[in-house]
C-alpha cells in the first residue's frame, strides 16, 4: 500500500465511522494508532494528519 492508498483508506474509514456512529474522530488517538504502523515515521505521520485535518474541515 503506497502513501496515497493509505491516505484514501484512512479518510474513507474515518468518514464511514462518523456516518454510522455519529461520533467525532479523536485526532490524538488516531495519530497514536497510526504511529504504530510499521513504515510510518514522524514526517510521514505529520503529512497524513495534515491531509486528514484538511479533509475534515471541508
pLDDT in tens, the chain (58 residues): 787 888 778 777 777 776 666 566 778 888 898 889 888 899 998 998 888 888 777 6
Side-chain half-sphere exposure of 19, counting CA atoms within 13 A: 6
Per-residue pLDDT reduced to its tens digit, 25-35: 778 888 898 88
* pTM of this structure: 0.56
Cα-flanking dihedrals φ and ψ of residue 39, to 5°? Answer: 100, -10
The count of domains in the chain is 1
Report yes or no: 46 and 53 within 8 Å, Cβ to Cβ. no
30: containing domain? 3-57
C-alpha closest to that of 6 among 34, 30, 41: 34
Amino acid at each position: 500500500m503506497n502513501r496515497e492508498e493509505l491516505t484514501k483508506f484512512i479518510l474513507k474509514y474515518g468518514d464511514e465511522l462518523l456516518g454510522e456512529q455519529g461520533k467525532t474522530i479523536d485526532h490524538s488517538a488516531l495519530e497514536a494508532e497510526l504511529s504504530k504502523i510499521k513504515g510510518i515515521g514522524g514526517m510521514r505521520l505529520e503529512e497524513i494528519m495534515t491531509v486528514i485535518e484538511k479533509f475534515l474541515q471541508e
